[in-house]
Structure formats: C-alpha cells, structure tokens
Amino acid sequence: MTAQTPTGQSHVDELVAAASLFGPAIETAEQWGCLLAQRLGAGARLLAAGNGGSAAQAQHLTAELVGRYRDERRPLSAICLSAETSSLTAIINDYPADELFARQVQAHGREGDLLVLMSTSGRSPNILSAADRGRQCGLTVLAFTGPRPNPLAAVADEALCVPSQFTATVQELHLVAMHLVCASLDLELSNRAADHASGVADSSLRVQQWRERGIASASRAVDGPSRSLEVKRRGHIPSAAAAGRGREGPTSARSST
C-alpha cells in the first residue's frame, strides 16, 4: 500500500467509502460467527495470529472468546500465537522466520480447529507459512486481509477482504468485522441454548405424560379384576336365590300332599 495515508477528514472519508462497500464482508463475518459457535461450542480451538497492528487485532479476538463479547457464556478455547513471547523468541532464534507462527500452529492445532490469520497486505511470509501449515494439519483457515487479489486470500479456506488501499482503513474495518463475528457467535450460541432448553422441556413433558399413562394403565390393571369379581359376586347372589326357589318348589308341593 504505497498511496499517501489520508489525514483528518480525508481519513474519515476513506473509512466511509470503504464501509459503503463492506456489505459482502458483513455477511461473511456473520457466517463465521455461526461457524465459530458450531466448532468452538463443540470443543474445538481457535488459533489467531498477525503482525504489528494485526497482532493486536488477533489478541483482541482471542480475548473476546476466552472472556466474552457481550453476552454471558462459557469460555471458549482460543490462543493468540502473536502473544506467546517465549515461544516466539525461541522459534525465531532457532528456526527460519517463516516458522514463527507455523510451528505454533503445528504444536497447538488439531483437525477441525480454526486458524484466523490477519494481514492487511495478505502477503506476510510468516502468515502465509502459517496458513499452509494449518491446511496441512486439517485446520480451517479464515483470513482477514486487504483488497483482493492477494496470496493469503488465495490460500485460505475463506477470506474477508476490505476494499481499501490504506492500512489504517483495513485495520479499522477488520475491527468492525471482528466484532460482527463475535456478535454473531453470541447470538448463535444463545439460540442453540434456547433450542436445547426447549428440547429438554419437551422431553420432560413427554416423560411426565408417559408416566401418567403408565400409572393410569396400572390402575386399570389392578381395578379390573376387583370389578369383575364384584360383578361375579353380585351375579352369584340372585342365581343362588333362584336356585333356592327352584329347590323349595317341590318340597312345598310334597308338604301340601
């Protein structure tokens, strides 16, 4: 990005112009929030990395996940690779610079995890190496970049690209996009919790109904023989009387004789 950085009102004008073209990125950010809710909610981990200002953005994202954005929820597993000071200095001391994040991805990442990489240019060698390593290890790579085309957007599974030639504007809209991701994640987790609670309530109701039907059936099974016996007993009495009357008939006749 070689154009002169805007200042004052021109800075704001550039931000507004880029924001007016931000529609596709909003949709992407909301989709990513749902993806994070699905994966992290199921126990996966998110790794994030960037250089300079993008490193701060990556750490901001993991802080929102381990802590919270707005809604109260359980903590989610997220590690900012840019903030691992001892690991960073050890790796850069013993390995090529391109391994700075890639080696950490290989150490912490597992198949099904998420790798979020931030680069305003989309051309940082250590970020590209991390993306390659993440794909090799079975992670889903999500990239925040500046305008397309760029190498990081090409190698990532999905990319959110800000249409501006200025680094500051790209970073500012990356922050907006990151907050959109977090808001979408919170909403999706909340909806899932509500659906689960509704399912539990429905299940409890079905169990209660089943119990009530079982109790009613058991009651009929117990009461049935008693009623039958009572009917038989009641039926037996008139039959005995009738039998008695039948026996008494001839006796009376003989007495009269």
Q: Are 45 and 12 in contact (CB under 8 A)?
A: no
Per-residue b/e over 95-121, b at no fewer than 16 CB within 10 Å? eeebbbbbbbbeebbeeebbbbbbbbb
Residue 201 has pLDDT above 50, yes or no: yes
**How far is it, in rounded angstroms, from Cα 78 to Cα 8?**
36
43-66 pLDDT tens trace? 999 999 999 999 999 999 999 999
pLDDT at 243: 47
DSSP letters spanning the chain: --SPPP-HHHHHHHHHHHHHT-HHHHHHHHHHHHHHHHHHHTT--EEEEESTHHHHHHHHHHHHHHS-SSS------EEEGGG-HHHHHHHHHHS-TTHHHHHHHHHH--TT-EEEEEESSS--HHHHHHHHHHHHTTPEEEEEESSSS-HHHHHSSEEEE---S-HHHHHHHHHHHHHHHHHHHHHHHHHHHHHHHHHHHHHHHHHHHHHHHHHHHHHHHHHHHHHHHHHHHHHHHHHHHHHHHHHHHHHHHHHH-
Residue 70 has pLDDT above 80, yes or no: yes
Q: pTM value?
A: 0.76
Which tokens in the block code for residue 123? 């051309």
pLDDT at 211: 77
* Percent of the chain whose predicted confidence (pLDDT) is above 70: 79
pLDDT at 218: 66
* Percent of the chain whose predicted confidence (pLDDT) is above 90: 72
**How far is it, in rounded angstroms, from Cα 151 to Cα 128?**
8
pLDDT at 158: 98
pLDDT at 226: 52
Which pLDDT band holds residue 252 (cuts at 50, 70, 90)?
very low
On average, the pLDDT of the chain sits at 86
Question: What are the sequence ranges of the domains in the chain?
Answer: 9-195
- CATH number assigned to the domain covering 9-195: 3.40.50.10490
Q: Is the model more confident about 184 or about 252?
A: 184
pLDDT at 71: 87
Kindly state the average pLDDT of the residues 17-36: 96
Kindly state the average pLDDT of the residues 167-194: 95
Kindly state the average pLDDT of the residues 19-26: 95
Which pLDDT band holds residue 126 (cuts at 50, 70, 90)?
very high
Residue 221 has pLDDT above 80, yes or no: no
pLDDT at 215: 73
Q: How many Å from the N-terminal Cα to the C-terminal Cα in the chain?
A: 139
pLDDT at 208: 73
Kindly state the average pLDDT of the residues 142-157: 98
Kindly state the average pLDDT of the residues 77-82: 98
pLDDT at 213: 76
What CA–CA distances, in Å, run from 27 to 95, 190, 233? Answer: 39, 19, 79
